[in-house]
Structure 1
Amino acid sequence: MNTLLIIMTIQGCLGAFDTLYHHEFTERLPWKPQAAQELWIHGVRNFFYAVIFFSLGWLSWGGWLSCLFAAMLLGEIGLTLWDFVIEDRTRKLPASERITHTILAINYGIILALLAPEMMRWSALPTGFHVVFHDIWSWVMSIFALGVLAWALFDYSRSKRFKVVESPPVLHLEVPRQRILITGGTGLIGRRLGQALINDGHDITILTRDKAKAAQFSGRVTLIDRLEDLRTVDIIVNLAGESLSDGFWTRAKKQAMYDSRLKLTQALADWIAVAKEKPRHLINASAVGYYGHSEILEFDESSSGGKPDLASDLCRQWENCAGQVASYGVKVSYLRLGLVMALEGGALAQMLFPSEFGIGGPMGHGRQWMSWIHIYDACGLIAHIINARIDGPVNATAPQPLRHKDFIRLLGRTMHRPAILPLPGFALKMGLGEMAETILLRGQKVVPKRALETGYLFRYPTLDLAFSQIFHGLI
């Protein structure tokens, strides 16, 4: 019996890792409307596991009750298979999650093999529940039982909060049926923008290294994995680039950050140079990091910038690379993006895990500025740039930036959670190095002067309005 309880302990630890690391932290399932059914399955399955853990620690199911216990074990298998089907339909699992699931399945098979003789013994007992005690292992099983029961209730309740499914913003370009290339089309903005333009009746081409991931688009779309396959287009929206806020900035990471932007943008410039029919407009992503950092200055598109850092250098090189196509008669716009607010990715998504568990709080001193934009406005501003034929820099930020401590306070209030546990700057620097210094602990106050001057009306000019839309019906 001790061998069985050891294997169950391993199963419990693997399950906790899978739940916390994959479901909560990396995949953020509780914040994806399409994951509602998967969360419901997790809730029911965890309830089964709670009964299994507690029973193995303290009870023998005598007589015909042993058959009921066996049915529950088989029910867990059925739920797991159903879960696999739902996962494959709704998301692409990372390799680490698939490996973890495989180990869990193998381990569960071992548990069933070890349980078989034990359940034969149970069936010979008088019908009823018989109390047993396995020393320390009974208490270990109790801990796991309480943990998975709590998570069963947690997942079940969160599966019910999805009252609305996030949809792409409604965009209307003045010129109908335009041919538009989007690079980075499977990214945070690219997914929403691409689907919105498809819905508006345009011919969309997505340049992607992962065509399977791009299959999420519904409607008429062309997928290519190399520029040589690109036909004539009217507009190029270049959103591709390695994430700056994802992980430690090693030498290889920094190189990838530069290469993913500069090499692709140069390839686009080379393609435009030889194209017989050139696009009329290139909208090239950049970021508010272009301005460097400052706690006191306010930046608009005419500002020279604050203190330089790696992010500002990267943005300037990126914009310079894109700007060369202007010599071919192509209009060039630089979309200097702030922090994009959306549940499925970006800065806000990274804050959801600690905030939901009440351990959110300001990073560092909290005085750093956060210039942000709702994802609908990010897409809407791209459409506005196309319609208004705007060239040059355009700050893609909401009109009201705010300090990080105020941002966190409003997030906590919206989520009905405390947001009072500060994360010291030195701890962030020790854990994440230069990335924390540049991205998390510094900021800039950026205002969308050109967007407002050219008549763009922000749907979500304030953070409370943005959060009302993002979290409406979800909490």
Structure 2
Amino acid sequence: MRILITGATGLIGTELVALLLQNGVEVHYLTTSKKKIIKEDKYHGFFWNPAQGIIDENSLLGVDVIIHLAGASIAKRWTSAYKQEIIESRIASSNTLYKALKENPNQVKQIISASGTAIYPDSATALYDELSIANQDNFLSNVVVKWEESINKFKQLDIKVCKLRTGIVLSKNGGALQEMLKPIQFGLGAAFGNGQQITSWIHIHDLAAMYFFAAKNQWEGIYNAVSPSPISNENLTKALAKQLHKALFLPNIPRFVMRLMLGEMHELLFTNKNISAQKALDNGFQFQFPTIEKALGNIIA
């Protein structure tokens, strides 16, 4: 099997590439930096510039599956200009891939795209599966809607489309978890708001494994890429403190404080979504780190 990856040098992409190479899968990857192009036997980089619609068509040679992870990070302050970049980076990259596939002979059978759980509305009572009505009128939800629409059109090329709606990714190499750990390490940890908002998360090893599993089994449609054990913000904060052997003594942090510090991006800390992983389980996927205790035990050694 040969897989083409966009976003291969990011947090998730790096983990996924390592997993694929360990399993004998040939990897082609697209990069916007010519300095990051490596040419090895089973690992081959190609240049692209989605903003200008430029792509090296040779990247498609012999490729069976595309895994599409590219997109500007949402973990930066959302200025008006950066919000536009978040949207355009996802749409432009999808459009560039679509045009290349449409105009060049290829054997691509499936595209698996990253997507987000932001599409589900905040709720203190709902349990969201992939059939849930998914519409929430805020910035991130609108990003996901446009993102998924840009991927759906690959069906017109008779290519299977799979979208993994991903929760908070826990990793020792960066991302949200490292930011959560910093105040706790300095004895300044506290839950946000009332602490009852539900966090749907996934260990980065399980996320990479789910992408590989989706490719091997030709998954089609939407799958929630979250662990089967969502957790409240308060209990997550306690679990982090316990793993670090730190005490929690500060009161919960009010929402307005984080709004002042982070602007609109503070919404990421107060999202409240209980999301089901049952569809992935029913289709044969097994989590290596299904509980927060196992995940943190692996990440925080």
Same fold (TM over 0.5): yes
Question: In 2 relative to 1, CA 304–358 (structure 1 residues): closer, same or farther, beyond 3 Å?
Answer: same
Q: Going by fraction, where is strand more abundant, 1 or 2?
A: 2
Residue aligning to 1:194: 17
1:225 aligned onto 2:70: no
Quote the Cα distance in structure 1 between the aligned partners of 2:241 and 2:179: 14
Q: 8 Å contact 1:204–1:220 — kept in the other structure?
A: yes
Deviation sequence 1:361-388 (CA, Å, 0-9, x none): 1122222210000111001111111122
Residue aligning to 1:182: 5
Out of 73, 94, 99, the residue aligned to residue 243 of structure 1 is 73
Deviation sequence 1:341-373 (CA, Å, 0-9, x none): 101111101112212111111122222210000
Quote the Cα distance in structure 2 between the aligned partners of 1:301 and 1:460: 21
Question: In 2 relative to 1, CA 296–235 (structure 1 residues): closer, same or farther, beyond 3 Å?
Answer: same
Residue aligning to 1:426: 256
Over the aligned positions, Cα root-mean-square deviation in angstroms equals 1.7
The DSSP-based 3-state class of the residue aligned with 2:112 is strand
AA partner of residue 178 (structure 2): A
Quote the Cα distance in structure 2 between the aligned partners of 1:446 and 1:369: 9
Q: 8 Å contact 1:207–1:225 — kept in the other structure?
A: yes
Question: In 2 relative to 1, CA 214–441 (structure 1 residues): closer, same or farther, beyond 3 Å?
Answer: farther
**Which 5+ residue runs of structure 1 have no aligned equivalent?**
1-177
Trace 1:66-81 onto structure 2 (pairs within 5 A): none
AA partner of residue 228 (structure 1): D
Trace 1:72-151 onto structure 2 (pairs within 5 A): none
1:435 aligned onto 2:257: no
AA partner of residue 412 (structure 1): A
Q: 8 Å contact 1:294–1:307 — kept in the other structure?
A: no
Deviation sequence 1:6-60 (CA, Å, 0-9, x none): xxxxxxxxxxxxxxxxxxxxxxxxxxxxxxxxxxxxxxxxxxxxxxxxxxxxxxx
1:347 aligned onto 2:176: yes
1:273 aligned onto 2:102: yes
AA partner of residue 47 (structure 2): D
Quote the Cα distance in structure 2 between the aligned partners of 1:279 and 1:181: 9
Question: In 2 relative to 1, CA 393–358 (structure 1 residues): closer, same or farther, beyond 3 Å?
Answer: same
The DSSP-based 3-state class of the residue aligned with 2:60 is coil
The DSSP-based 3-state class of the residue aligned with 1:236 is strand
Q: 8 Å contact 1:341–1:372 — kept in the other structure?
A: yes
AA partner of residue 27 (structure 2): I
- The Cα of 1:449 is off from its aligned counterpart by 2.0
Question: In 2 relative to 1, CA 218–278 (structure 1 residues): closer, same or farther, beyond 3 Å?
Answer: closer
Quote the Cα distance in structure 2 between the aligned partners of 1:204 and 1:357: 41
Instruction: Considering Cα pairs closer than 8 Å and 6+ residues apart, tell me whether 1 or 2 has the greater RCO.
Output: 2
Residue aligning to 2:206: 377
- The Cα of 1:213 is off from its aligned counterpart by 5.1
Residue aligning to 2:51: none
- The Cα of 1:278 is off from its aligned counterpart by 3.8
AA partner of residue 282 (structure 1): I
Q: Going by fraction, where is helix more abundant, 1 or 2?
A: 1
Question: In 2 relative to 1, CA 306–270 (structure 1 residues): closer, same or farther, beyond 3 Å?
Answer: closer
Residue aligning to 1:122: none
Question: In 2 relative to 1, CA 471–213 (structure 1 residues): closer, same or farther, beyond 3 Å?
Answer: farther
Structure 1 runs of 4+ off > 6 angstroms?
A: none
1:287 aligned onto 2:116: yes
Quote the Cα distance in structure 2 between the aligned partners of 1:218 and 1:346: 28
The DSSP-based 3-state class of the residue aligned with 1:279 is coil
AA partner of residue 203 (structure 1): E
**Which 5+ residue runs of structure 2 have no aligned equivalent?**
49-54
Out of 240, 244, 249, the residue aligned to residue 415 of structure 1 is 244
Residue aligning to 1:24: none
Quote the Cα distance in structure 2 between the aligned partners of 1:336 and 1:345: 20
Trace 1:257-272 onto structure 2 (pairs within 5 A): 257-272=86-101
Question: In 2 relative to 1, CA 395–420 (structure 1 residues): closer, same or farther, beyond 3 Å?
Answer: farther
Trace 1:51-66 onto structure 2 (pairs within 5 A): none
Residue aligning to 1:397: 226
Quote the Cα distance in structure 2 between the aligned partners of 1:444 and 1:242: 23
Deviates more, 1:334-343 or 1:352-361: 352-361
Quote the Cα distance in structure 2 between the aligned partners of 1:343 and 1:213: 23
Question: In 2 relative to 1, CA 306–410 (structure 1 residues): closer, same or farther, beyond 3 Å?
Answer: farther
Paired residues, what number? Answer: 292
Larger Rg: 1
Q: 8 Å contact 1:204–1:222 — kept in the other structure?
A: yes
